[in-house]
Amino acid sequence: MSEAIVKVDELVKNFGELVAVNAVSFEVEKGEIFGFLGPNGAGKTTTISMLCTLLKPTGGRATVNGFDISTDKHLVRESIGLVFQDPSLDDRLTARENLEFHAVLYHVPRNIRESRIEEVLDMVSLDDRAEDRIETYSGGMKRRLEIARGLLHYPKVLFLDEPTIGLDPQTRNYIWDYIEGLKKREAITIFLTTHYMEEAEHCDRIAVIDNGNIIALDTPENLKDNVGGDVIKLKTEDDDGAKEELTRRFPDLEMLADPECKLCFKMEKGEEFIPDLIRDFGTKIVSVSLHRPTLDDVFLQLTGKEIRDEGSDTKSGMRVARMRANR
């Protein structure tokens, strides 16, 4: 195990009666992409806000880069980069001016400021739009610039709160390419929140959070393995005969008790089993399908409910839409 760069110990945040974060404890290791996965209102942003010193914890303690978030606020602030869920650029300034403002606030020395700005602009492919005001930017460009800004002062930990919310799939992929490339190039730890399952797949480790509690914390693979292997679904010309043949040839096989699917069974490493299965199979096979468990299945199993996706979360969606429209 490598060194922990974020240590969280029994962190609590209450808003009046509401317990937003309920004594969560976890550690983030140096250099990993750590994801907070959970529905809207689970406490993801509240936790991030506390770690970034924007909210005072009600209880518990945490350190970021070795500095206490309650007593060494300035040192924590210097150690982190932050991309907020909601847009946070000054739209009357140009991209370069936004970055200059940030560089000065974060004490990037004057002699390297210019080259650093060029570097991050280049990284997010906005170098040709550097002199344009932000009001002329699209949502995806703003997001990219915000990520560039978050990296400008070479933070030890980059916090990304829902980095791709409200973006189209193409831009979303684009941003993920940056994040993964970033992890390869820089010695940087990335802490992100998301409620998109497919995004959580990019993380080295995921904490599943619901109602202010962490209910699971592991690599995406382990989480999915814990759901219990792949599901293989077989269609044949004679299902009863096939079933009899299956149980005879593979006595250990665990058939699913699903009336909709007579020939469904769970199998670890299903892709390696399929060749064995279809070789010399007596009954004629019409189709074989393999369903890998997704993080949706993980979430469903852990909480007994499906994660609400963006579409059903009208309030937050509307808020973002309104903010973007106003800019």
Partner 1 sequence: MAEAIEMQDRESTQEYLHRNNTKRAMTGVYMVWLRDLKRFWRDTPRRIGTTVQPIIYLFLLGTGLQAAFRVFGGGNVQFIKFMFPGILGMTVLFTSVFSAISILWDREFGFLKEILVSPVPRASVAVGKIFGGATQAMMQGVILLILFPFLFGFSLNSLAKIIALIPLALLLAIGMTSIGVAIAANMESMEGFPVIMNLLLLPMFFLSGAMFPLQGLPGWMTVLTRIDPLTYGVDMLRGIALKGVNVTGTTSSIISKIPKNLAAQISPQAKAAIAKVTPKVSIQTQRYPLWLDLLIVVGFSVVMLGIAIWQFNRQE
For partner 1, the binding residues (CB under 8 A) are 52-56, 66-67, 72, 74-75, 77-78, 80, 82, 84, 86-93, 97, 101-102, 104-107, 323, 326-327
Check if the beta carbon of residue 310 is closer than 8 Å to that of residue 165.
Answer: yes
We find the least distance from the C-beta atom of residue 103 to partner 1, in angstroms, to be 10
Residue 53 vs 236, nearer CB to partner 1: 53
Query: Comparing C-alpha atoms, which of 81, 74, 63 is closest to residue 186?
Result: 81
Given the complex with partner 1, which of 43 and 220 has the nearer CB atom? 43
Supply the minimum distance, in Å, between the C-beta of residue 81 and partner 1. Answer: 10
Nearer to partner 1, 86 or 225 (CB): 86
Which CB sits closer to partner 1, 19 or 253?
19
**Closest separation in Å from C-beta 265 to partner 1:** 51
Q: CB-wise, 107 or 284, nearer to partner 1?
A: 107
Within 10 Å of residue 58's Cβ, how many Cβ atoms? 15
Query: How many other CB atoms are found less than 10 A from the CB of residue 135?
Result: 13
- Minimum Å gap between C-beta 252 and partner 1 is 52
Cβ at position 101, least distance to partner 1 in Å: 6
